[in-house]
Structure 1
Amino acid sequence: MTYSIVDIRRTEISKIWLKNSIINGLNQSTKSIPTIVLYDELGLQYFEKITYLKEYYLTDAEIDILKNKADRISDYIPEGSFVIELGSGALRKTKLILDAIEKHKKNVTYYALDLMEDELKRSLSALGEYQYIKLVGLWGTYDDGIVYTANFPEDSHKTILWMGSSIGNYNRDEAANFVKTIQDKAMNPGDLLLVGVDRRNNPDKITIAYNDPSRTTEGFIMNGLNHINAIFNQPIIDRNNFEYFAKYNDGLGRHEAYYKIKNDTALEFEASDDNPKIEIKLKKDELINIEYSYKYSKAEISDIFDFSFLSYVESWPDSQSCYDIHLVFKPPFYFKKKSDSYESVPTIEEWKELWKSTDTLMNMVDSIYDKPIEYRHPFIFYIGHIPAFLDIHLARYFKQDVTEPHNFATIFERGIDPDINDPDINDPKKCNPHSIVPDNWPDLNSVLSFRDTVRQRLMAVYNDQKIIPRSLGRVLWMTFEHEVMHVETFLYMLIQYKNVRLPKGVIIPRWKPSYDQVPKADLITIPTQTVTLGHDDDECADDTDPLSLPFGWDNERPSRKVTVQSFKIQSRPVTNGEYLYFMKTTINKGYPSSWIPVDPSLFHYKVRTIFGPVDMNVAVNWPVMLSQEQACRYAEWTRMRLPTEEELRCFYDLHKRPDFESNVGFSYWHPTDVPHDKNVQTLGSGWEWTSTEWNTYPGFEKSKLYPGYSSDFFDGKHAVILGGSWATHPKIIRRSFRNWYQRGYPFVFCSVRLCL
C-alpha cells in the first residue's frame, strides 16, 4: 500500500514532563498516573486484543453502525475532501468508511494521526490498495494534529473522525473544551466531525467490558507499570505488589481503573539530572487512578455539542442501542440552546453570532429588490430596517443623532402589515403605521455601509459602558430580540423565494422518505388548574443590575392568573400527511402556502424548504405549516377546536421537553418528524396557533420605549401563537413570550394541535 508519513510533532513528548507528571500524581492525596503510560508498543498490542473481545462491546457496536451507515457517511463527504482521524489505531473500523468512499469514487486524502510511528506504518500498510484515496500518516499528538489541520486551505472541506469513544477518556469539562478547540481551530463552516460515544449502559455490561474473563484488560493496565520502570530506567515498581482494581461509578457515569496496593511499600526514584532522589510511601489498599472512561446520556453529549457550537447532521445507534455515532458540523452561525444570558442583556458574542445569521441569510438572496411575499417589502427593506431600528433606539437613549444617511431612519424605521383580506393590499392607508415607502430603494452598498457603522456604534457602547443600567440593558435586549424576530421573517420570505441560494456552510440534508405515516395522535387530559401568564417587568425601573429581572415586551406584563378548566389536547401537532388526507376527503381546495402544487388534481404536492422542494413522502410526518383560518377549517372537519392561549400554556408547562429534543434555533434548517411513538412533542419545528384573539387585557400598558409594538395590532384580525419554530432563536423561547399573526397569514412557520 502506498502511503507517506509526516512528522508533525512540534515537540516530542518530553520524558522530563512525563516523569514529573508521574511523580506529581503519586505525591497527591488522591493519587493518579497519566493514562498515556498505558500506550507503549506492548500496550497498543494489548489494546488491539481488547477490541476483539466480545465483552468489550464498544468496538463491535461501532463496527455494527459503520457496516450499515458507512455509505450514508460517505455521502456527506464531498469530492476533494480531507478526512482526518484523531487517534487512528489499527484502522479496522475506519476501513469501512474508506471502502465506502472508494466505492463512490470520491477523490479524498485520508490523514491517520497517531502517537506511534511504527503503529502508523503497520496500520496503513494493512489497508490494501485504493485508487481514489491518498493515504498520509501524521505522527504526533492530538494538539499537533489540530494545528496541522488548521493550516489546510480555507476553502477545503474537512471531515474529522474521532471514534472508539475516545471522548470518554476526558472528564466532561475537558471533553467539552477539547471538542470546542477542534471546532475553533480546525474547522470552517460546513466541516464535519464524526464522534463515537458510549452510552450510560447497564452497569454490569460496562463493568465486564473492562474486567474480561481472559484478563486481557488487566494485562493492558498492568503493563503500564512496566512502562513506568522503562521511562525512569529504574526498577521502581514491583508489579507483584500492585493489582488491577476497577469499578463503574453509576452516579458519575464513568468506569474507573486503578492500581491497588497489596502491602505498604515505598517507591524510590533515584536522583537524576532532572530530579533529586524522591521517596513516595504507599499504603496497603490505597488506590492509584490510571484511567477514567466516561459514558454519555443523550442530553450530556448534546450539551457538549451545544457548548462547542456544533449542529447535528445525523446520529446512528448500534443494533443493541448501547452506542452512538454522531455526525455534526460547524454551521455559519450558532444559537446556543442553553445560555445564562438569555434572560438578560445579550453579550457581544451573542450579537456577533446573530449578525452572522443575518449576513448568511442575506447572501441567499439573488436580487435584494425582489419581493417574494406580496404582504411584505422587498428584501432590501429588511437589510436596512434591522440596523436602522437599532440605531434609532441607541440615538434616542444617548440623545444623539442617528447615523448618516439620516433619511435611512425615515424609510427603514417600520415595515408594513397590510390587511391580507383586503383586495387592495398595496393601499398604504390600510396598513399599520409604517415608514414612508420610497419610490426607489437605496443601493445595497450604501445600506451595508450603514449597517456596518451601526454595528460599530453598538460595539462602542459595550466597550464604553463599565456598568450597564437597566434602562440601557432594556434597549440592548429589545433591539437584539427585534433582529432575532426578523431572522425568522427573512426566512419566511426565502422559503417562498424561487431564486433562493443554498446557505453557505450548511450541510444539505440527505432526505429519507417516510412512507409510513405516524399513528394517530393521543389525546392528553389536562386537569383543571390555575396558570400564570406573563411576568412582571417594570419598564420604568432603572437600577444598575440588568440581571435582577428578565426583560419582556409590553404584552408579557403584568403577570396574571387564569383558571383553566380540564380539557384534552393532542400529543403532537397535525402533520402534512393528515392535512393532505383532509384535502382529499373534503371539497377544500386551499392548500397551505408551505406546499408547492405539482398536480393538484391528483393531490400531488411538495413541501417548501430552504434547500428546495421536497417530496411529500419525505415531509409527510412534519408538522403542517398553515394559516389559522386553514387550521380552523381542519379543526371543524375533525370536530375538534384550537386551544386557547391559556390551554396551550398549561400543556407546555406540564409536558416540557429537554432543550436537546426541541427543534428550535436552527438545530435543523427544516421541520422534523413528529414522534413516531407515543412520546409527547411540545416545542419544535413550528409555532402553534391558538384561538385567542390578540388584544388588550386587564393591567396591560403599552410600551413607552416602543409604543406601537403590540397595541397597533389590537384590531380583531390577529391571533396569539406560542412556542417557536426551527428558525426561532432560543432567547425568545422563554415561557412568557407571546407572538401573533393575522388569522389568514399563510407564510408563518406555524402549526396546530387540536383540543376537545
Structure 2
Amino acid sequence: MSDFKERIAAELTAARSRSIAYTDAEDDLLVRQHSPLMSPLVWDLAHVGNYEELWVLRQAGGIAPLRPEIDDMYDAFRHPRADRPSLPVLGPGEARHYIGGVRGRVLDVLDEIDLHGPDPLHRDGFVFGLVIQHEHQHDETMLATLQLSGQAGLVRDGDLPPAGPPGPAEVFVPPGSFVMGTATRPWAYDNERPAHRVELPGYWIDRLPVGNRAYADFVEDGGYDDPRWWSGEGLHWLRHSRAFAPLFWRRDGGRWWRTRFGRTEPVPMDEPVQHVCWYEADAYARWAGRRLPTEAEWERACGWDAEAERALLHPWGDDAPGPGRANLGHRAARPAPLGAFPAGASPCGTEQMIGDVWEWTGSWFLPYPGFRSFPYPEYSEVFFDSRHRVLRGGSWASDPAVVRTTFRNWDRPARRQIFSGFRCARSARPEEG
C-alpha cells in the first residue's frame, strides 16, 4: 500500500475510533432520543457505516449491496431527526457488527483502487475524503447529543493553554480583492467551489471571538428583554424559546453557571461564548454597535495572504494544525481561553478563527458563481434556500480533516445545541480607508 493510501487508512481509523468512543455507553442511552433536534446515537453509528457502504463499496468499488433493506432507514433526507426513534433501527451490537463488516471491505477497496485515474470519485482519494469528513461531522453531532443527554462521565476532557496577553480588540482589513473558495483542495466539498475573486471594501473584524464576559454584559444589560436589538424573526424566536442566556447557562448565587457534559461549573469568563444561535449573535452585535461579518469578510480575514496574493489552507499557512495553533479534534471538551493561540494568527492578525467555536456569519448559505453539484445534490444544493446561515471555522469538537479556511458549515438560525459562537465586524468609515 502506498504512503498516500496508508494516510487514508489512518484517517479512516481515526474517524472510526471517535465514533466507537462516543457510543461506548449503555444501550439505553444509545437508543434514546435526547432531543427532537438530534438522532438517537445508535442511528448515527449505523448511518456512517451505511454512507460508507453506499459511496465506497457500491459507487467506487462496484460491490453488491450488503444490507440494501436498511438504506431507506438511514437516508437522512427521508426521515427527519424527530422521527428516527420510531424506525426499526439496528441495535447497538448489530450496528457495531455492520459498520465493522463495511470497514473491512472498504480497506480492501482502498488497497485495489487507482487514486490517479479519471474517475472523479477515485481521483486523489475523493471518495475516502468524503466518508472520512462525513464520519467526523457525525462524531461532532454525537458530542452535541451527549451534551444534551445531561449524563456525566461520558466525554473525556483535557488540558488547554492559558489565555493570551491583551491585544487590540479588532483588526483592520483594507479594501481589495481576494480569491474565495478553492479549485485545488482535493477533498473540498462542492459548495467550496469554484474559486472566484471577490472585491471587498475596508472593514474591521474582532481579533478574537466574543467571550463569555462580554456576552454576560449583554445579558445583564437586559439584552434579552430589549426588542431594539432583535430582528423581527429574532423576536419571534425569543418569545417562543423563552431564552434568557446561552443554552446550558443559569444564574444562581450572583454568578453564572453552565452545565457541560453532565457537570455544573461556573461559566469561565475568558472563554469564547458557546451554544448561541444566530439570532442571539445578531442581537449582541446590534447591542455592541457592530454586525456579524459576511462570509466573504470572514474568509478573507481568516486565510488570505495579501502579500503573497494567495489563499492559505489555515490562518497560519498550509501546515497541519498543531497544539500551539488551534483547539481542534476534541483536545478538550470546551473552547480554549481567549488569546490562547497567538501562533495560529492569520496574516491580518485575527486569532482563533479555526477551532474553539463555529462562528456565525451574516450570510445565507448560497452557491458560489459557477457552482456544480458533486457527487450528489443533497449534500449542498438542497440547502440553498435562504433559510440556513453560514458558520465558519470549526469548533473544539471538529477534526482537523474537516477544517480549512474555505470549509462552509450551515444551519438554521435558531439552532444553538451546536458548538457555535461568533465574532463581530464593522464597516470602515471613509477616513479609515
Q: Which residue of 1 is the match for residue 407 of structure 2? A: 737
- Among candidates 506, 519, 522, match of residue 169 of structure 2: 522
Q: 2:373 aligns to what?
A: 702
Give the Cα separation in 2 of the matches to 1:417 and 1:409: 11
SS of 2:383's partner is coil
Offset, 1:585? 0.5
Contact 1:720 1:741 in 2 (8 A): yes
Contact 2:161 2:340 in 1 (8 A): no
Per-residue deviation, residues 518-557 of structure 1 (Å, max 9, x unmatched): 96961211101211111126xxxxxxxxxxx623211011
In structure 2, C-alpha distance between the alignment counterparts of 1:507 and 1:593, rounded to whole Å: 21
TM-aligned CA deviation for residue 632 of structure 1: 0.3
CA displacement at 1:467 relative to structure 2: 5.3
- CA-to-partner distance for each residue in 1:672-711, whole Å, 9 max, x for gaps? 11028998423231111110101233211222x2221111
Inter-partner Cα distance in structure 1 for 2:132 and 2:341: 38
* C-alpha separation in 2, matches of 1:355 and 1:483: 7
Q: CA deviation at 1:399?
A: 3.2
Task: State whether residues 271 and 337 of structure 2, in contact with CA within 8 Å, keep that contact through their aligned partners in structure 1.
Answer: yes
Q: 1:673 is paired with a residue of what secondary structure?
A: coil
Residue aligning to 1:693: 364
2:288 is aligned to 638
Of 71, 74, 86, 1:412 maps to 74
CA contact (8 A) 2:172 2:202 kept: yes
Q: Which residue is equivalent to 2:266?
A: 615
| Shift of residue 407, structure 1, vs aligned partner | 2.1
- 1:474 aligned onto 2:123: no
Matching residue of 1:669:
333
What SS does structure 2 have at the residue aligned with 1:449? helix
Q: Equivalent residue for 1:723?
A: 393
1:745-756, aligned counterparts within 5 Å?
745-756=415-426
Deviation string, structure 1 residues 68-108 (Cα, Å, up to 9, x no partner): xxxxxxxxxxxxxxxxxxxxxxxxxxxxxxxxxxxxxxxxx
Q: Which runs of 5+ in 1 are unaligned?
A: 1-339, 419-424, 429-435, 538-548
Amino acid at match of 1:387: G
CA 399–680 in structure 1, closer or farther in 2 if over 3 Å, else same? closer
Task: Determine if contact 1:363/1:501 at 8 Å carries over to the other structure.
Answer: no
Q: How is 1:48-127 mapped onto 2 (pairs within 5 angstroms)?
A: none
Alignment of 1:342-381 (within 5 A): 347-364=8-25, 367-381=29-43
**Paired-residue identity, %:** 22
Name the counterpart of 1:532. 179
Checking the alignment, whether the CA contact within 8 Å between 1:411 and 1:438 is kept in structure 2 is no
Specify the SS of the correspondent of 1:712: helix
Whole-angstrom CA distance in 2 between matches of 1:345 and 1:733: 21
Residue type of the alignment partner of 1:623: P
In structure 2, relative to structure 1, the CA distance for the partners of 1:508 and 1:647 (3 Å cut) is: closer
- Greater radius of gyration (CA): 1
Is the Cα–Cα contact under 8 Å of residues 687 and 750 in structure 1 kept in the other structure?
A: yes
Q: Is the 8 A contact 2:152 2:261 kept in 1?
A: yes
What SS does structure 2 have at the residue aligned with 1:368?
helix
Distance 2:200 2:257 in 1: 39
CA pair 382-692 structure 1, distance change in 2 beyond 3 A: same
Alpha carbons of 1:511 and 1:481: their partners in 2 closer, same or farther (altered >3 Å)? closer
1:459 is aligned, of 102, 107, 118, to 107
Cα distance, 1:604 vs. partner? 4.1
Higher strand share: 1
- State whether structure 2 residue 169 is matched by structure 1 residue 499: no
Kept after mapping to 2: 8 A contact 1:361/1:491: yes
Change (3 A) 1:607 1:511: farther
Q: Which has the higher contact order (CA 8 A, sep 6+)?
A: 2
**How big is each residue's C-alpha offset from its partner over 1:6-39, in whole Å with a ceiling of 9 and x where there is no partner?**
xxxxxxxxxxxxxxxxxxxxxxxxxxxxxxxxxx
Matches of 2:79 and 2:211, distance apart in 1: 28
Residue 248 (structure 2) pairs with residue 595 (structure 1): yes
Question: How far apart, in 2, do the equivalents of 1:744 and 1:364 lie?
Answer: 30
1:445 and 2:93 correspond: yes
Q: In the aligned structure 2, how far is the partner of 1:569 from the partner of 1:384?
A: 41
**Residues 636 and 362 of structure 1: CA distance in aligned 2, closer, same or farther (over 3 Å):** same
Partner letter of residue 487 of structure 1?
D
Q: Give the direction of change, closer, same or farther, for the CA distance of 1:720–1:466 in structure 2 (3 Å limit).
A: closer
Q: What does residue 383 of structure 1 align with?
A: 45
Q: Which residue of 2 aligns with 1:233?
A: none
1:732 is aligned with what amino acid? V
What is the TM-score when the length of structure 2 is the normalising length?
A: 0.79
Matched, 1:681 2:351: yes
Quote how far apart the aligned CAs of 1:444 are: 1.6
Residues 1:552 and 2:170 are matched in the alignment = no
- Over the aligned positions, Cα root-mean-square deviation in angstroms equals 3.1
Report the alpha carbon displacement of residue 736 of structure 1 after superposing the two structures with TM. Answer: 2.0
Counterpart amino acid of 2:33?
K
User: In the alignment, what sits opposite 2:303?
Assistant: 653
Q: 1:654: how far off?
A: 5.3
Counterpart selection for 2:139 from 487, 497, 516? 487
Counterparts in 2 of 1:596 and 1:750: CA distance versus 1, 3 Å: same
The change in CA–CA distance for 1:519 and 1:466 in structure 2 (over 3 A counts) is closer
Q: Secondary structure at the match of 1:562?
A: strand
Query: Post-superposition shift, 1:441?
Result: 2.9
> Hey, what's the Cα distance between the residues in 2 that align with 1:491 and 1:452?
21
Query: For residue 463 of structure 1, what is the amino acid of its counterpart?
Result: D
CA contact (8 A) 1:346 1:477 kept: no
Cα distance in 1 for residues equivalent to 2:58 and 2:97? 18
Secondary structure in structure 1 of the residue aligned to 2:380: helix
Counterpart in the other structure of 1:71 = none
Name stretches of at least 5 consecutive residues in structure 2 with no aligned partner: 226-242, 306-314, 343-348, 427-433
The amino acid across from 2:418 in the alignment is V
Cα separation, partners in 2 of 1:592 and 1:417, compared to 1, 3 Å: farther
TM-score scaled to structure 1, two decimals? 0.46
